[in-house]
Amino acid sequence: MQVAIVSDIHGNRHALEAVLADIAQSDADRLWCLGDVVGYGADPNDCCTIVREHAAVCLAGNHDLAVTGALPLDEFSRGAALAARWTQEVLAPEHRDWLASLDPADTEEGVGLFHASPRDPVWEYVLSALLAELCFDAVPHQLSLIGHSHVALAFVREEGEPATGRARRGGEAEELGEARWLVNPGSVGQPRDGDARAAWLLLDLGAGTVEWRRTEYDVAGAAAAIRSAHLPDSLAERLQYGQ
């Protein structure tokens, strides 16, 4: 079974539609979403509709939880809080109820799924080998998938060795083997690794491999939609820089 993994869509319909078109050309027969369907972008309803239609599994991200009222907005940056308030105003009740039904962690096919980290599925950013070590100690899974940081990366721990890891570029692939892995597909809707293209991951459970993918999309269209919604201009500006 091959699974396409997406995360951190953030209401960016332009990026999500481009990624789904790319996934349709792959051998993936299932889609898993690691959360933050809504957030900084201007098309939260469209993104909810698309994910609900296509994803076999979807987690709740911290921005999803903010929009449903499960997290206080004062825990977010100014731009994120403004976007969350706007999303609360425009989001259809059926989508709000759906987001409220999601959890930030799950297990599928023996794979641990976490929006942020195995230790803290809502908030922890796993960007160092030290934090990866602590996460490996917290769960039994050989493979755990995480989002939240908007950076495509992987950490690995071989038997008897310390964890190591680094950011990953589109086209890179790994054989999982017997090691333990903590893998982030990167962000669909707002990458923060210097590559403006939408990021996603192809997981082959049968072959035991992962491949990081990047997809070109209409960045200008996504930015224009943010500005038309009168959301903070910084949310539009950063898209072209992958930051």
Q: How many domains does the chain have?
A: 1
Per-residue model confidence (pLDDT) at position 58: 98
Name the CA dihedral angle for 104, 169, 1, 45, rounded to a multiple of 10 degrees: 50
End-to-end CA gap in the chain: 33
CA distance 145 to 143: 7
171: phi > 0 → left, psi -120 to 50 → alpha, else beta; which? left
CA distance 197 to 135: 28
Per-residue model confidence (pLDDT) at position 235: 96
Per-residue model confidence (pLDDT) at position 132: 97
Per-residue model confidence (pLDDT) at position 134: 97
DSSP 238: G
CA distance 30 to 28: 6
Per-residue model confidence (pLDDT) at position 230: 96
Domain that holds residue 101: 2-241
Distance of CA 214 to the CA centre of its chain: 13
Beta-sheet strand order (sheet of 209-215): 57-58, 30-33, 2-6, 198-204, 209-215, 173-175
CATH of the domain at 120: 3.60.21.10
As averages over each run of 10 residues, the pLDDT of the chain (243 residues) reads 97 98 96 98 98 98 98 93 97 98 97 98 97 96 98 96 96 97 98 97 97 98 98 96 92
CA distances to 33, 41, 69, 222, 223 from 190, rounded to whole Å, are 15, 9, 23, 10, 11
